[in-house]
Amino acid sequence: MVDAARAPAVDHVVPFRVTARAAQQRLRTHLASAFWAPGEVRRLARLDQLRPEELRGVLVPYFVYAASTRSRWRARIGLDWWRSEKTKDKHGKPTTRQVRETEWFDSSGTAVGRRDGHHECASATLTAAEAERLGRFDLGHAVVFDPRVIAGFGAELPTRTQAEVDADARTAIRRHALGRLATRVLPGDHHDVVAFDCDIAVHTLEVVLMPVWVATYRYRGGLRRLLVHGQSGECVGRPPVSAAKVSGVAAAVAAVIVFVLWWAGAWS
């Protein structure tokens, strides 16, 4: 991987495409549709209590990699063929059906690939689960870093170490190379990869700020937060679950089961 000393400062920024107003609306819809959330949380949406000061636009740092891969693999390759088998139909008349057979062979080889625009979150502010659920950003809209682009938004610098982010990137790029091997490289109708080794060469590394709306709200004395993808508008984060609702539904289901058993016994 690229050495930490060579890691650049911020190179590009992906601007917000979802406005604050649109993000608020997405959050209200998200909360209103959360059936298991407590009533007081769902009322945040109905009573328009997600105030602008509780929604912040934050530009989150990501490391963006351009890398090439060279893989060595061994696999079992299955080739299908068909044979005719004489049988009888449900009326006892002779008929012929086609039966699929598979022959397996050992195979091995190498494969090369390229992974451009792979990005990994470099902020310790987001949890791994939040970063994963935010998913990908469209780097086609990235612009060269300019302080005027980030005016009015919060902006972070990387707070995770280079080694941590590199390890995550290496795992993800390797997984992508294995998936590409399975879908585009291996011959035959079936395959089972028994050995896979992948060398990764990183050619460029950039720091790109990605747009995320962060909403905070209070629930039972604690702060909770939800995220909105700054390009797609996708909401990330699950509201708390109401224990009373869960208990009530469980009791209702139990009552239905008891009634069905009673009814079945009464008519047996």
pLDDT of residue 174: 97
In a domain, 61, yes or no: yes
Q: What pLDDT band is residue 37 in, cutting at 50, 70 and 90?
A: very low
Q: Could you give the C-alpha distances from 10 to 45, 86, 112, 135, 222, in angstroms and in order?
A: 36, 70, 30, 20, 34
Distance of alpha carbon 117 from alpha carbon 205, whole angstroms: 9
Grouping H, G, I as helix, E, B as strand and the rest as coil, residue 162 is helix
pLDDT value, residue 97: 87
Q: What is the pLDDT of residue 268?
A: 56
- Conformational region of residue 48, where left means phi above 0, alpha means psi within -120 to 50, and beta covers everything else: left
Instruction: Quote the pLDDT of residue 139.
Output: 97
| Residue 268 included in any domain | no
Per residue in 157-211, pLDDT (tens digit) is 999 999 999 999 999 999 999 999 988 899 899 999 999 999 999 999 999 999 9
Task: With respect to residue 72, please indicate whether it lies within any of the assigned structural domains.
Answer: no
Q: Which region among 45-49, 109-113, 221-225 has the lowest average model confidence (pLDDT)?
A: 45-49
Which structural domain range is residue 231 located in? 4-66+113-181+196-237
Confidence of residue 248 (pLDDT cuts 50, 70, 90): very low
- The alpha carbon of residue 122 and the mean position of all alpha carbons in its chain are separated, in whole angstroms, by 16
Q: Is residue 243 in a domain? A: no
Over residues 261-267, the mean pLDDT reads 58
Give the C-alpha separation, 242 to 184, whole Å. Answer: 46
Q: Choose among 125, 127, 142: nearest CA to 64.
A: 142
Confidence of residue 240 (pLDDT cuts 50, 70, 90): very low
Question: For residue 118, is it left (φ>0), alpha (ψ between -120 and 50) or beta?
Answer: beta
pLDDT of 49-108, one tens digit each?
555 447 899 999 999 999 999 999 999 999 999 999 888 888 888 888 899 999 999 999
Bridge partners for 208 per DSSP: 12, 62
Q: Is the dihedral of CA 35, 39, 42, 47 positive or negative?
A: positive
Angle between helix 20-32 and helix 39-46 axes, rounded to 10 deg = 140
Nearest to residue 53, comparing CAs of 229, 193, 214, 242? 214
Quote the number of domains for the chain.
1
* In-domain check, residue 157: yes
What's the sign of the alpha-carbon dihedral 106, 112, 118, 124?
positive
Q: Is the pTM of this model over 0.85?
A: no
Tell me whether residue 122 is in a domain. Answer: yes
Q: Is residue 101 part of a domain?
A: no
Q: Which of 51-55, 126-130, 241-245 has the lowest mean pLDDT?
A: 241-245
Whether 93 is in a domain gets the answer no
